[in-house]
Amino acid sequence: MSDIRQQALDYHEFPIPGKTAVCLTKPAETSHDLALAYSPGVAEPVREIAANPDNAYRYTNKGNTVAVITNGTAILGLGNLGPLASKPVMEGKALLFKHFANIDSTDIEITHNTPEEFINTVAAIADTFGGINLEDIKAPECFVIERELIARCKVPVFHDDQHGTAIVTAAGMINALEIQGKLISDATFVCMGAGAAAIACMTMLVKCGANRANIYMLDTKGVIHSGRTDLNEYKALFANDTDKRTLLDVIKGADVFLGLSGPDVIGAEEVALMADKPVIFACSNPDPEIKPALAHATRSDLIMGTGRSDYPNQVNNVLCFPFIFRGALDVRASCINDEMKIAAVHAIAALAKEPVPASVLKAYPNVSSLSFGPEYVLPKPMDPRLLPNVARAVAQAAIDSGVAAIPTLPQYAD
């Protein structure tokens, strides 16, 4: 572990600090180049955009640029460590946008006092970008922040920790339950955590067929039930009409444990109590709710996923956010709606059932084969087919649902 610590610090420090930089897409060698890039030539696109704002997509980098914006109040599973400390994560998201979907991305860390201040700041700069990816903003403020920004911004606004996580979780869950021979409509879910990702995941699973009465969500005070008077409006959506109160009460016979909380919150005792053929997605980053080795040592009939890249079944929003934005930008969608999100769920889930190309296997030297099954319920982030498959499905859904300004599907190289 200390080895990875030093490697990670060195990776970030050398050869130059940080993970991203700006590169130029036009020549700037001669005085003529400068006359075009800057004064006087630059005045021409200025006039064009002033006359018609859509020309910003034609003459600037707007259409391929996504801002990754945070206040650092819920950094991974590490907590509220402030805007500046979140910068490595936001640069990391920018790296992933660029590497996986060729989207140029800028990280923006905002210091603010009230949610209104944050909303006003983002709304004031939103026109600069083709899309806004909100990241690592704690609940419940993230809900009102996203809602207000969707209403005020002309470009898609997407809170990755809610919807990116929910889309990938739903895709993996649909596949894992299928492998375990269970119907999503019959499955009993225990969701540990009641923050942004938890509420979004369970909302998405309900849209994909889960039965709300079979969902037990827990916060730091235990089971969220209809007798509680301390629930915000978002948690209240998942108040179960039950007399079960504790994790032990609800884990008994549960088909699914979904962890979106913090490290090591369940142990062998809880895992042993789950139904036959359970599914455990322990998604707290970087340290899961239960270590895979412990879960597997406890029973052999489970399917296990985590948020990490160093175990099988990585349930991580990286499988979604680069590609959902690629599809949204390509047809200049005005928002990322439910139709687009559900199209992404099914495109990601379907890809896990396809034979895996050799190029993907090469990126994972420790695995000899990958095929649909308990150790492979989701495609790998390195899978080059994610880009065409997910972006195409999302772009098509945007067109079909009437939110695309460009009504034709781009050519995606398979």
Query: Which of these segments, 65-73, 105-113, 128-136, 321-329, binds Mg ion (CB under 5 A)?
Result: 128-136
Q: Is 109 in the site for Mg ion (CB under 5 A)?
A: no
Is residue 161 involved in binding Mg ion (CB under 5 A)? yes
Closest approach, Cβ 289 to ligand OAA, in A, equals: 13
Q: Is 136 in the site for ligand OAA (CB under 6 A)?
A: yes
Query: Exposed, middle or buried by CB within 10 Å (0-12, 13-18, 19+), for 13?
Result: exposed
State in angstroms the smallest separation of the CB of 75 from Mg ion. Answer: 8
Q: Letter for the amino acid at 233?
A: E
Q: Which string of x and - marks every residue 147-176 that binds ligand OAA (by CB under 6 A)?
A: -------------xx---------------
* Identified binder of ligand OAA from the candidate list 195, 307, 322, 379, rule CB under 6 A: 307
Residue 245: CB atoms within 10 Å: 14
Partner whose footprint covers residue 307, from ligand OAA, Mg ion, none (CB < 5 to 8 Å by kind)? ligand OAA
Under rule CB under 5 A, residue 146 binds Mg ion: no
Structure tokens at 100: 């996986």
Give the CA angle between residues 138, 262, 382 to the nearest 5°: 85
Of 178 and 287, CB closest to ligand OAA:
287
- Of 384, 394, 390, 388, the closest CA to residue 349 belongs to 390
Is residue 76 involved in binding ligand OAA (CB under 6 A)? Answer: yes
Bridge-partner residues for 216, per DSSP? 190
Using CB distances below 5 to 8 A depending on partner kind, what does residue 316 bind out of ligand OAA, Mg ion, none? ligand OAA
Task: Evaluate whether 87 touches 95 at the Cβ level (below 8 Å).
Answer: no
Which stretches does DSSP call E strand in 160-253? Answer: 189-192, 215-219, 222-223
Among this protein's residues, is 38 annotated catalytic? yes
Task: Provide the token pair at 236.
Answer: 């209240």
Q: Residues 86, 175, 285, 313: which binds ligand OAA (CB under 6 A)?
A: 285
Q: Which of 19, 62, 87, 93 is catalytic?
A: 93
Strands 279-282 and 256-259: parallel
**Which residue number places its CB atom closest to ligand OAA?**
285
What minimum distance in Å lies between the beta carbon of 316 and ligand OAA?
5
Interior/surface letters 54-84, b for 16+ CB within 10 angstroms, e for the rest: ebbbeeeebbbbbbbbbbbbbbbbbeeeebe
Binding to ligand OAA by residue 259, rule CB under 6 A? no
Q: What is the DSSP letter of 74?
A: S
Q: 261 or 317: whose CB is closer to ligand OAA?
A: 317
Residues within window 82-111 making contact with ligand OAA, judged by CB under 6 A: 89
Residue 91 binds Mg ion, judged by CB under 5 A = no
Binding to ligand OAA by CB under 6 A, coded x per residue (else -) over 30-59, reads: ------------------------------
Inter-residue contact 133 to 66 (CB < 8 Å): yes
CA distances from 195 to 79, 113, 219 (A): 12, 20, 8
Is the separation of the CB atoms in 278 and 183 below 8 Å? Answer: no
SS3 133: strand
CA nearest to 386, candidates 342, 338, 345, 351: 351
Active-site residue identified among 11, 38, 59, 221: 38
**Counting contacts by CB under 5 A, is residue 107 touching Mg ion?**
no
Least distance (Å) between residue 369 CB and ligand OAA? 26
Choose which of 104, 107, 136, 383 interacts with Mg ion (CB under 5 A): 136
Q: Among 180, 203, 316, 389, which residue sits at the site for ligand OAA (rule: CB under 6 A)?
A: 316
Query: Which residues are known to be catalytic?
Result: 38, 93
In the complex, which residues of this chain contact Mg ion (CB under 5 A)? 135-136, 161
In the complex, which residues of this chain contact ligand OAA (CB under 6 A)? 76, 89, 136, 160-161, 285, 307, 316-317
